[in-house]
Amino acid sequence: MKRIAVVASGRGSNFQAIIDAIHNGTVPAECAALITDNPKAYAIERAQVAGIPVVVIDYSTFPSRELYERALLLAMQKADVDLFVLAGYMRILGASIVRAFPGKMINIHPALLPAFTGLHAQRQAVQYGVKLAGCTVHFVDESLDGGPIILQKCVPVMDSDDEDALAERILEHEHECLPEAIRLFCQDRIVIEGRKVRIF
């Protein structure tokens, strides 16, 4: 059985979806750790309820991003897992961390990549006037939200949507998409071929 660790910064609703999928047997994995940069993240409470060890690397206590990333890398290496899942981690990972875990790190992004990278993707989609939005699970590389795509789900954009309404509907699909991608990884059904991800 594969070991995973979740890296999160906030309320952890995607983390909860992963916990639930492991608990009900959908995802054949053990969640070995929650790693967070935010000591106030609600995800910590979710981890404690589920009996998952928590590692807090508080970004605000480090004098530089470089020192923070060094501590984060050390924590990730200590976790000794097969896959890191970025689930609402609100920082861009430095190249040294990305290079340390090639093909072993995935991220969920609330847009149909390559459209609307970075922060506030749902706001970008509403402002641009697209008719379809959605979410993407992708491998993490050194580009911003640009790694090979594993899964995507579409969500229609309504004329009445604001950023929050669209985000809420996309989130429902994130909760399906992310555990599904983890399941495929844990079953050794994913192969990266250049920019393409093949699912067997």
pTM value? 0.97
Report the CATH number at residue 119: 3.40.50.170
Q: What domain count does the chain have?
A: 1
Catalytic residue check, 120:
no
**Which one of the listed residues 23, 109, 173, 175 is annotated catalytic?**
109
The alpha carbon of 190 is separated from its chain's Cα centroid by a whole number of angstroms, namely 17
Q: In which domain, by residue range, is 175 found? A: 2-199
Q: How many residues appear in the chain?
A: 200
Q: What is the pLDDT of residues 165-177, one digit of tens each?
A: 999 999 999 999 9
Q: What is the pLDDT of residues 84-93, one digit of tens each?
A: 999 999 999 9
The alpha carbon of 88 is separated from its chain's Cα centroid by a whole number of angstroms, namely 6
Q: What is the pLDDT of residues 31-63, one digit of tens each?
A: 999 999 999 999 999 999 999 999 999 999 999
Q: What is the pLDDT of residues 107-162, one digit of tens each?
A: 999 999 999 999 999 999 999 999 999 999 999 999 999 999 999 999 999 999 99
> At residue 170, what is the residue type?
I
Q: What is the mean pLDDT of residues 14-39?
A: 98
What confidence score (pLDDT) does residue 69 get?
A: 97
